[in-house]
Amino acid sequence: MSEDKHKGERIAKVMARAGLCSRRDAEKWIAASRVKVNGKVIDSPALNVSAADKIVVDDKALPDKQNTRLFLYHKPSGLVTSHKDEQGRSTVFDNLPEHLPRVISVGRLDLNTEGLLLLTNDGELARFLEFPATGWMRRYRVRVHGKVNEKRLKSLKNGITVEGVRYKSIEAKLEKIPEDEKQKNAGAGGANSWLSISLREGKNREIRRVMEALGLRVTRLIRTDYGPFSLGNVTRGTVTEIKPDVMKHQVAKYFAGNKAQKGKNR
């Protein structure tokens, strides 16, 4: 291992780029003594490694770095966005096509949230895309039960505090309801409305909690867009790969940053 802290890259970052896990998971695996470098178990992620170092995880050599790939997945409701679930529930990764490489998700969708979930074999790319600083808008279609106050919806642009948690600007508007759906609602004895909601932050259960604060109950939540990527015609439960040239164009800052980092390490 190089003793020069300015050479090579942090081991957790190298593990993430190999598509093995996220950087956060890599740090946990290191703390659990699952990682060896040049035959020695390490217990701290504060270690720089180079191509000359031999990295072993769970007694298996770290796979060679793959070309970065990015996929669109139409997540159905009822799946956990996790590789393993302590409660034994079915996960997103249990239901992916077998031909896919090992992938991790860009952020998460709640159990009962459906729609667009980005998947990648590059843990560093996932981390980059999750950062609010990336500035990407996430768009949703939301079905709510209750009486919608459009003035209160518009006020969400200024942010809102719910039970001590501050949520930043949210764009929300009421969609037009077809006449046949209006009639169904009237017959069911309740008011169901569809909203279009856009936000950049995406805190845990943000939309559901904010809607509850407005006296609305979310009955369906579908993510349709994540930054420049849209769900489009991807059918529920299926995956489609984003073409490499499109990916590199849309995520140009990430690839430019990688080139700059490689230049510093030389």
Tens-digit pLDDT string for the chain (266 aa): 444 444 678 898 888 777 777 788 889 899 999 999 999 999 888 899 888 888 999 988 887 777 899 999 999 999 999 888 888 899 999 999 888 888 989 999 999 999 999 999 988 899 899 887 788 999 999 999 999 999 999 999 999 999 999 999 999 999 976 555 555 555 444 689 999 999 998 888 999 999 999 999 999 999 999 999 999 999 999 999 999 999 999 999 888 866 545 545 44
Q: What is the per-residue pLDDT for 193?
A: 95
**CATH class of domain segment(s) 137-226:** alpha beta
Query: Which long-range contacts (C-beta less than 8 Å, at least 24 apart) are formed by 31-36?
Result: 34/58, 35/11
- Match domain 9-65 to its CATH number in 3.40.50.2300, 3.30.43.10, 3.60.20.10, 3.10.290.10: 3.10.290.10
State the Rg of the chain over Cα. 22
Q: In Å, what is the CA distance from 33 to each residue of 28, 30, 197, 244?
A: 9, 5, 43, 36
Domain ranges of the chain: 9-65, 70-133+229-253, 137-226
Q: What is the per-residue pLDDT for 98?
A: 85
Cβ atoms 70, 247 nearer than 8 A = yes
CATH topology agreement for domains 70-133+229-253 and 137-226 = yes
DSSP assignment of 64-96: PPPPP-EEEEEEPTT-BSSS--TT---BTTTSS
The structure's pTM equals 0.76
Q: What is the per-residue pLDDT for 53?
A: 87
- The torsion angles phi and psi of 73, rounded to 5 degrees, stand at -125, 135
Active-site residue, 110 included? yes
User: Which of 43, 110, 122, 225 does the annotation list as catalytic?
Assistant: 110
From CA 81, how far away is CA 102, in angstroms rounded?
Answer: 14
**CATH class of domain segment(s) 70-133+229-253:** alpha beta
Q: CA 103: distance to chain centroid?
A: 12
